[in-house]
Structure 1
Amino acid sequence: MQVDIDLQTVVMLHAGSLLAILLLVYRGIFRALKNWKILINLVISTLPAMFVGLFFEEQVEAVFSNVGFLPFFFVITAVFLLLSSLKDGEKSLDHMSARDALLIGLFQAIAILPGVSRSGMVLSAALLLDYRREESVTYTFLMAIPVLLGASLLKLRETSLTMNPAFLVSFLSSLVALVILKKVVLVRKLRWFADYCLVIAFLSFLLG
Structure 2
Amino acid sequence: MIEHSFLQALILGIVEGVSEFLPISSTGHLIVVGHLIGFSSMPGKVFEVVIQLGAILAICVLYWRRLLHVVLDARHDPAARSFIGAIIVAMIPAGLLGVLFHDFIINVLFSPYVVCTTLILGGIAIIVIERLHLETRITSIETLPMKTALKIGLFQCMALVPGVSRSGATILGALLVGVERKTAAEFSFFLAIPVMLGASAINLIETWDLIQPSHAFIIATGFIAAFLSALVVVQWLLNFVSNHGYSIFGWYRIVFGCLLLVYFMARG
Q: Give TM-score scaled by structure 2 length.
A: 0.67
**2:84 is the alignment partner of 1:39:** yes
Q: CA deviation at 1:160?
A: 7.5
The CA distance in 2 between the partners of 1:71 and 1:15, in whole Å, is: 25
1:144 aligns with: 192
The CA distance in 1 between the partners of 2:135 and 2:244, in whole Å, is: 9
2:257 aligns with: 201
The 10-residue stretch of structure 1 (47-56 or 155-164) with the greater mean CA deviation from structure 2: 155-164
Query: Aligned to 1:153, which of 201, 212, 217?
Result: 201
Q: Structure 1 residues 189 and 203 mapped into 2: Cα distance closer, same or farther (>3 Å)?
A: same
**2:222 is the alignment partner of 1:174:** no
Q: CA deviation at 1:142?
A: 0.3
Q: Is the 8 A contact 1:10 1:155 kept in 2?
A: no
Identity of aligned residues (%): 26
Query: Aligned to 2:105, which of 60, 81, 105?
Result: 60
The CA distance in 2 between the partners of 1:11 and 1:201, in whole Å, is: 24
Q: CA deviation at 1:174?
A: 1.5
Q: CA deviation at 1:8?
A: 5.0
Q: Structure 1 residues 23 and 122 mapped into 2: Cα distance closer, same or farther (>3 Å)?
A: same
Q: CA deviation at 1:194?
A: 0.6
1:131 aligns with: 179
Q: Is the 8 A contact 1:88 1:133 kept in 2?
A: no
Q: CA deviation at 1:153?
A: 2.8
1:154 aligned partner, one-letter code: I
- Match runs of 1:13-162 below 5 Å: 13-30=51-68, 32-33=70-71, 34=74, 35-85=80-130, 86-87=133-134, 89-91=136-138, 92-157=140-205, 158=208, 159=211
Q: Is the 8 A contact 1:52 1:109 kept in 2?
A: yes
Q: CA deviation at 1:66?
A: 4.4
Q: CA deviation at 1:155?
A: 4.2
The CA distance in 2 between the partners of 1:165 and 1:76, in whole Å, is: 33
- Higher Cα radius of gyration: 2
Q: CA deviation at 1:118?
A: 0.8
Unmatched tracts of structure 2, length 5 or more = 1-40, 75-79
Q: Is the 8 A contact 2:95 2:195 kept in 1?
A: no
Q: CA deviation at 1:188?
A: 2.4
Q: Give TM-score scaled by structure 1 length.
A: 0.84
Q: Is the 8 A contact 1:44 1:98 kept in 2?
A: yes
Q: Is the 8 A contact 1:74 1:198 kept in 2?
A: yes
Q: Structure 1 residues 172 and 52 mapped into 2: Cα distance closer, same or farther (>3 Å)?
A: same
Q: CA deviation at 1:154?
A: 3.1
Q: Structure 1 residues 129 and 165 mapped into 2: Cα distance closer, same or farther (>3 Å)?
A: same
The CA distance in 2 between the partners of 1:160 and 1:32, in whole Å, is: 38
**What is the RMSD of the two structures over their aligned residues, measured on CA atoms?**
2.5
Q: Structure 1 residues 7 and 20 mapped into 2: Cα distance closer, same or farther (>3 Å)?
A: same
